[in-house]
């Protein structure tokens, strides 16, 4: 029941908040929403304490028939791949709500309801073990995010929101057809018509055109969500227009759904095709790493810079996933969490100065060191974390990914490494222009430093940034068993597919 | 010596639901003559009672499988399922109309009587075992709808809708009747089962039969408004009173699909390969044209007209896919579509601005801040039309495209889902306007109507319930189809 509770507690909270009388002041709504999010986080903690890291299989499983005649069931579970992402979601949500305290100025009640529904959708995506159920959460999550960008966003919000939905929808609808095709092919081959992911993952599909097409349909949906290089154009628009909490959730959790989808579905379901397309995907990932970094360098808007840096960082994750060895994948998973923490924190920090100055342009700042020392220090730590400085979390993930990549192909790994150098260029240059030097604008002299509420928002994130950087073993340990199982499953199934073809 | 004259078996049971509706219509004719003269709402209430009674009778008859009047009328699960869909549609339309026609100053006794008579026609179509009965039902339904479309006599759009619907409809009926004549010439019977037997025994290559079938498709294509027989839809949907638009979009469409499916499955099953190809084309054309043209519409009723053309395309995907799953998904989708469309039109019907209906997209600007509940409810209906979970529209599309994939029509499913993505654009435009724009000019208000609100609420419950717990109803549809697919 734990998982169901974690998934549906936010939705329940949303319902209660929606039914609260109109007359209530925003303050009551804010507190209620925060309470629900904190409660959800507390409820999700037993997942961590009760998780057996030695077991590769799904844990906390729940299974009930839903549409038995079509083999659809309500099946939830977590393993080492999804556990950290679930915890990341429940961890970031209260902080995000707290950061919205003043950033969201209108319709707080609707905002709280939308955010909590979004949380249900996001957690659902990570724990659903039935393809139909997964798809339901995957699509259902789209609308709250659309509303958050479109209602509470910036000047060009409607364009960004519609672009976000149409891009994602086009990709995921093709995935729906692929899900159906997989369902019927598996049913025809084994006589067992089911959408159950663990069962489908056992099925050795014949290699060739069908498997390739199905893989591509899934991959397109996930690649748009990641977003991978030629499908990334919705991301800068969405990030720039979204309000601070929207950006944090988008960067912190939503982008991980794409990479998670590759790990959970593409690799085990279509191992042969994954191997076939791995070089292409790695090529796109490396292009994304370098392209994202270059484009970040020239951005005048801090938020847009961080958005493009996400393209670069997610390129690292994709690289780690598709080198298809344990180091790469573990690194990828940790890097997902790291990116959620450090980019989430960057968006929080940008939101804090935006609230004070109502601008995000780099040229409007300078010399913040003098007026906001505490802010500048935290900003520096997060910047270093994003670059991947040893001792902070970013290093662990990128290092493991590069170790994995070196085993796969050295030149590719070397090329990817340049992405870290460029990351130092754009992040440090941006930091230098915003924080160092003389105060260039009069308005900036009166800026106030971090408030206690902002400290509360940032401190937990920084704690984990340092913790994962210094002592990552507990986090890595959670994922290793499941990743090992995944890698051997992919290899075994690819071999079985080849044997099938040879016969 | 002449063969003994055997009178046909007369079974009132088999036409029970039709009979109840007919009697209700006749009772309404009488009540209309009694006072009070200036208020006619009680006719609507009595009509509603008749519809509910017919629904109860249908439920009571569930499980029946019988023919009467020499096979002219069939009462089987299929007919009963459609009786339920039509009953829901007509019931919701009556609820929506109660307040609405009076508010629009067009209340009259005939309105309710004609709605009931159109329901008689629809129900008859669902039970027809003979092309003649199909035609009889079709005409009963259509004649009533032609008049109803022109309810607002003083408005030019309403008169135009009525005239256009009538002229084109009469033309389509001509095609339909001529098709029946040709089929009769080729197969020697108008009975669906006997046409099927004739076809199976080798008459399938008879050009007369094929031409006759082509003409039938024209007639049905008009009634379900599939491309290229859709020309009337946008003007009629826009001009007709909104509650009647709902009836045309839901009840009449369901009835036409009922008759179409029965003709295809009972009479033309041996020629499945041929008609599947034809309907494949119609499905692709309807989905694509409906969605693309809908993007350009500024009037919500017009937009929903094109959206309904697109939805006919989706439903035809299920017909093409065929088999138990394909046809059951058609039945299920028609049920879902009835609730969704009735709900969407219902919300539009409740809104007014400057004392007239708020039917332009711009009228909805800022609705979310003035009437958050209405905006939310309309959003849910629109999401169901797009096919976003957890609404019923998603499950409906899932079944339809699932059936297509299963039957090997992968490309049809791909075209269908890409169309859904296009459709998201124009449905979301309404959400954008409601939530993300500020209102301009006079405020848009919700007219207080208990019956209308109740109808929207019922539709909302349907959309959510069918989205969360669809399995029993799909099973129901499969059970209902079983006798036809034997």
Per residue in B336-380, pLDDT tens? 999 999 999 999 989 887 777 778 888 888 888 888 889 999 999
pTM equals 0.92
Residue B404 within any structural domain of the chain: yes
Please count the other Cβ atoms lying within 10 Å of the Cβ belonging to residue B10.
10
Q: How many domains does chain B have?
A: 1
Question: What span, in angstroms and rounded, lies between the C-alpha atoms of A18 and A14?
Answer: 6
Q: Which residues of A touch B414 (CB under 8 A)?
A: 174, 177
Residue B4 within any structural domain of the chain: no
Residue B59 within any structural domain of the chain: yes
Residue B386 to chain A, least CA–CA distance (Å)? 10
Residue A70 to chain B, least CA–CA distance (Å)? 8
Under an 8 A CB cutoff, do A157 and B436 touch?
A: yes
Q: Which residues of A touch B398 (CB under 8 A)?
A: 132, 176, 180
* Burial of residue B356, with CB atoms counted within 10 A of its CB: 0-12 exposed, 13-18 middle, 19 or more buried: exposed
Question: What span, in angstroms and rounded, lies between the C-alpha atoms of A429 and A434?
Answer: 9
Under an 8 A CB cutoff, do B401 and A174 touch?
A: no
Range of B405's domain?
A: 16-485
Residue B28 within any structural domain of the chain: yes
Q: Report yes or no: B28 and B47 within 8 Å, Cβ to Cβ.
A: yes
Residue B429 within any structural domain of the chain: yes
- Nearest Cβ partner of B414 from A67, A157, A177? A177
* pLDDT tens across the length of chain A (503 residues): 888 999 999 999 999 988 887 766 778 888 889 999 999 999 998 988 888 888 888 888 899 988 888 889 999 999 888 999 999 999 999 999 988 888 887 888 888 999 999 999 999 999 999 999 999 999 988 889 998 998 888 888 889 988 998 888 888 888 999 999 999 999 888 888 899 998 988 888 887 888 899 999 999 999 999 888 888 889 988 988 888 899 999 988 999 999 999 999 999 999 889 988 999 999 999 999 999 999 999 999 999 999 999 999 999 999 999 998 888 999 999 999 999 999 999 999 999 888 888 888 888 888 888 888 888 999 999 999 998 888 888 888 899 999 999 998 899 999 999 988 998 899 999 998 888 888 888 887 888 888 888 899 899 999 999 999 899 888 888 888 888 888 888 888 888 888 887 77
- Per-residue tokens: A222: 């996930």
- Per-residue tokens: B157: 């759009």
Q: Show which residues on chain B lie within 8 Å of chain A, measured between beta carbons.
A: 368-369, 372, 383, 388-390, 394, 398, 401-402, 405-406, 410, 413-414, 417-418, 420-421, 424-425, 428, 432, 435-436, 470-471, 474-475, 478
Q: Which residues of B touch A72 (CB under 8 A)?
A: 471
Under an 8 A CB cutoff, do B401 and A180 touch?
A: yes
Sequential DSSP letters for B110-161: HHHHHHHHHHHHHHHHHHB-BHHHHHHHHHHHHHHHHHHHT-STT-HHHHHH
Q: Is B314 left (phi over 0), alpha (psi -120 to 50) or beta?
A: alpha
Question: What span, in angstroms and rounded, lies between the C-alpha atoms of A157 and A148?
Answer: 9
Residue B215 within any structural domain of the chain: yes
Q: Which residues of A touch B435 (CB under 8 A)?
A: 147, 150-151
Q: Report yes or no: A290 and A422 within 8 Å, Cβ to Cβ.
A: yes
Residue B5 within any structural domain of the chain: no
Locate the chain B residue with the closest alpha carbon to A22: B372
Under an 8 A CB cutoff, do A70 and B435 touch?
A: no
Please count the other Cβ atoms lying within 10 Å of the Cβ belonging to residue A278.
17
Q: What is the ipTM of this complex?
A: 0.88
Question: What span, in angstroms and rounded, lies between the C-alpha atoms of B169 and A354?
Answer: 62
Residue B250 within any structural domain of the chain: yes
Q: What is the pLDDT of residues B163-204, one digit of tens each?
A: 999 999 999 999 999 999 999 988 888 888 888 888 888 755
Locate the chain A residue with the closest alpha carbon to B427: A162
């Amino acid at each position: 029941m734990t998982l169901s509770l974690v998934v549906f507690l936010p939705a329940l909270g949303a319902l209660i908040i929606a039914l609260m009388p109109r007359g209530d002041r925003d303050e009551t709504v804010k507190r209620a929403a925060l309470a629900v999010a904190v409660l959800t986080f507390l409820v999700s903690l037993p997942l961590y304490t009760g998780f057996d890291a030695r077991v590769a299989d799904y844990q906390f499983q729940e299974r009930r028939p839903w549409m038995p005649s079509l083999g659809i069931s309500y099946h939830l579970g977590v393993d080492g791949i999804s556990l950290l992402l679930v915890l990341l979601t429940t961890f970031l949500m209260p902080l995000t709500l707290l950061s919205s305290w003043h950033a969201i100025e209108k319709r707080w009640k609707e905002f709280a309801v939308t955010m909590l529904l979004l949380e249900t959708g996001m957690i659902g995506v990570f724990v659903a073990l039935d393809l139909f159920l997964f798809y339901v959460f995957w699509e259902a999550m789209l609308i709250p995010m659309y509303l958050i960008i479109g209602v509470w966003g910036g000047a060009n919000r409607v364009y960004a929101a519609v672009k976000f939905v149409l891009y994602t929808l086009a990709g995921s609808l093709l995935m729906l057809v692929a899900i159906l095709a997989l369902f019927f092919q598996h049913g025809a081959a084994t006589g067992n018509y089911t959408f159950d992911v663990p069962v489908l993952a056992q099925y050795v599909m014949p290699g060739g055109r069908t498997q390739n097409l199905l893989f591509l349909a899934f991959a397109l949906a996930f690649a748009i969500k990641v977003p991978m290089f030629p499908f990334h154009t919705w991301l800068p628009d969405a990030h720039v227009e979204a309000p601070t909490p929207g950006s944090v959730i988008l960067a912190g959790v939503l982008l991980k759904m794409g990479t998670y989808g590759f790990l959970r579905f593409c690799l085990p379901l279509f191992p042969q095709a994954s191997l076939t397309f791995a070089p292409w995907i790695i090529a796109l990932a490396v292009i994304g790493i370098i392209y994202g970094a270059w484009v970040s360098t020239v951005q005048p808007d801090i938020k847009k810079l961080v958005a493009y840096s996400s393209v670069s960082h997610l390129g690292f994750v994709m690289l780690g996933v598709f080198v298809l060895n344990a180091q790469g994948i573990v690194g990828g998973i940790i890097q997902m969490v790291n990116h959620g923490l450090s980019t989430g924190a960057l968006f929080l920090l940008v939101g804090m100065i935006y609230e004070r100055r109502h601008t995000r342009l780099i040229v409007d700042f300078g010399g913040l060191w003098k007026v906001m020392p505490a802010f500048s220090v935290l900003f520096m730590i997060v910047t270093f974390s994003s670059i991947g400085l040893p001792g902070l979390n970013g290093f662990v993930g990128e290092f493991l990914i590069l170790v994995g990549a070196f085993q796969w192909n050295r030149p590719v790994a070397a090329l990817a490494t340049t992405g870290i150098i460029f990351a130092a260029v754009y992040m440090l240059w941006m930091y230098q222009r915003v924080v160092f030097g003389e105060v260039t604008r009069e308005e900036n002299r009166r800026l106030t430093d971090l408030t206690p509420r902002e400290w509360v928002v940032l401190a937990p994130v920084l704690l984990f940034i340092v913790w994962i950087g210094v002592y990552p073993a507990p986090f890595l340990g959670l994922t290793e068993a499941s990743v090992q199982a995944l890698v051997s499953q992919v290899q075994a199934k690819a071999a079985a597919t080849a044997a099938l073809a040879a016969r | 010596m002449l063969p003994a004259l055997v009178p046909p078996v007369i079974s009132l049971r088999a036409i029970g639901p039709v009979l109840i509706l007919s009697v209700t219509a006749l009772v309404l004719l009488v009540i209309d003559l009694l006072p009070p003269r200036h208020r006619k709402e009680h006719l609507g209430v009595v009509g509603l009672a008749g519809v509910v009674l017919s629904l109860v009778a249908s439920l009571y008859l569930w499980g029946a499988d019988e023919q009467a009047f020499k096979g002219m009328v069939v009462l089987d699960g299929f007919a009963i399922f459609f009786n339920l869909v039509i009953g829901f549609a007509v019931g919701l339309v009556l609820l929506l109309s109660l307040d609405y026609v009076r508010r629009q100053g067009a209340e009259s006794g005939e309105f309710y009587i004609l709605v009931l008579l159109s329901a008689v026609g629809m129900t008859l179509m669902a039970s027809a075992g003979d092309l003649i009965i199909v035609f009889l039902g079709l005409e009963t339904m259509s004649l009533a709808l032609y008049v109803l479309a022109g309810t607002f006599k003083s408005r030019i759009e309403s008169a135009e809708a009525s005239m256009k619907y009538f002229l084109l409809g009469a033309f389509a009926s001509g095609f339909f009747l001529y098709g029946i004549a040709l089929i009769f010439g080729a197969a020697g019977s108008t009975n669906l089962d006997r046409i099927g037997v004739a076809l199976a025994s080798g008459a399938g290559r008879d050009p007369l039969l094929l031409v006759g079938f082509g003409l039938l498709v024209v007639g049905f294509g008009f009634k379900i408004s599939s491309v290229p027989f859709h020309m009337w839809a946008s003007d009629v949907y826009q001009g007709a009173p909104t509650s009647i638009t709902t009836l045309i979009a839901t009840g009449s469409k369901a009835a036409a699909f009922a008759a179409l499916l029965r003709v295809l499955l009972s009479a033309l099953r041996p020629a499945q390969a041929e008609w599947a190809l034809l309907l494949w084309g119609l499905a692709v054309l309807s989905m694509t044209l409906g969605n693309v043209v809908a993007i350009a519409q500024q009037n919500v009723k017009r937009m929903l007209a094109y959206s309904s053309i697109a939805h006919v395309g989706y439903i035809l995907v299920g017909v093409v896919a065929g088999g138990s799953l394909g046809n059951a998904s058609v039945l299920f989708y028609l049920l879902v579509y009835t609730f969704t469309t009735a709900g969407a039109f219902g919300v539009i019907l409740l809104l007014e601005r400057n004392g007239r209906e708020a039917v332009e997209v711009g009228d909805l600007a800022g609705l979310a801040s003035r009437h958050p509940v209405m905006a939310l409810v309309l959003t849910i209906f629109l999401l169901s039309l797009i096919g976003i979970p957890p609404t019923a529209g998603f499950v409906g599309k899932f079944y339809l495209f699932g059936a297509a994939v299963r039957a090997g029509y992968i490309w049809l499913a791909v075209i269908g889902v890409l169309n859904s993505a296009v459709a998201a654009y124009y449905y979301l435009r309404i959400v954008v306007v409601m939530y993300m724009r500020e209102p301009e000019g006079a405020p848009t208000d919700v007219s207080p109507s208990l019956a209308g609100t109740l109808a929207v609420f019922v539709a909302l419950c349907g959309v959510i319930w069918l989205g969360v717990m669809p399995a029993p109803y799909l099973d129901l549809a499969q059970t209902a189809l079983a006798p036809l697919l034997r």
